[in-house]
């Protein structure tokens, strides 16, 4: 995977989460594809980290991203995405999951706070039920308007096609 000590297997992540919780730390969990990291991601992750003492990220594997987003995704492989995310100061631990949702991972880790973007209704958030039944909280955070990986990809495609069209007219 990567050389970062923040990137762990789900089993290692469970040990670390339990140790943090045993020492009284509040564990915040969020997840996503994080294909092309942008300002919206950074603001979201920074706000999520402020909700507790440590921030754990569940990162969709490449296979999971392909099933969710289509055959042209991810743009960046899981190793690169993990490297970039784990380099962020606000991220304390990162683990990959191969399923379509992190429900099983969340049910195992049982964070104190589960966080997603405000575009998710709490009842639709994978793992919410397990966290709530365990006495935790499920929260949504506002998203930075106009920032999305899909939007960035669309803009690149649009600019690329404009460039290709223009290069034929000299």
pTM of the model: 0.85
Query: How many other CB atoms are found less than 10 A from the CB of residue 165?
Result: 9
- The pLDDT tens digits for 36-82 are 888 889 999 999 999 999 999 999 999 999 999 999 889 999 999 99
The C-alpha atoms of residue 14 and residue 3 are separated, in whole angstroms, by: 19
Give pLDDT, residue 150.
Answer: 61
Element (DSSP H or E) covering residue 113: strand 113-117
The C-alpha atoms of residue 32 and residue 68 are separated, in whole angstroms, by: 11
Closest CA to 102 of 135, 147, 77, 68: 68
- Segment 94-110 shows an average pLDDT of 97
- Where does the pLDDT of residue 163 fall: very low under 50, low under 70, confident under 90, or very high at 90 and above? low
Average pLDDT across the chain, whole number:
89
Give pLDDT, residue 40.
Answer: 87
Give pLDDT, residue 54.
Answer: 98
Whether the predicted pLDDT of 3 surpasses 50? yes
Domains of the chain with bracketed CATH: 10-145 (3.40.50.620)
In the chain, what is the straight-line distance between the N-terminal and C-terminal CA atoms, in Å?
47
The C-alpha atoms of residue 144 and residue 122 are separated, in whole angstroms, by: 19
């Amino acid at each position: 995977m990567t050389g970062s000590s923040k990137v762990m297997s789900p089993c290692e992540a469970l040990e670390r989460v339990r140790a943090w919780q045993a020492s009284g730390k509040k564990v915040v969990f969020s997840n996503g594809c994080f294909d092309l990291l942008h300002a919206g991601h950074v603001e979201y992750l920074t706000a999520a980290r402020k909700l507790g003492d440590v921030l754990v990220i569940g990162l969709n594997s490449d296979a999971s991203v392909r099933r969710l987003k289509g055959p042209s995704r991810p743009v960046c492989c899981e190793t690169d995405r993990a490297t970039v995310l784990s380099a962020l100061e606000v991220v304390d631990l990162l683990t990959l999951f191969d399923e379509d949702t992190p429900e099983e991972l969340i049910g195992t880790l049982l964070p104190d706070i589960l966080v997603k973007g405000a575009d998710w209704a709490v009842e639709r958030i994978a793992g919410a039920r397990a966290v709530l039944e365990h006495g935790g909280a499920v929260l949504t955070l506002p998203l930075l308007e106009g920032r999305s990986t899909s939007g960035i990809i669309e803009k690149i495609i649009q600019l690329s096609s404009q460039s290709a069209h223009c290069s034929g007219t000299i």
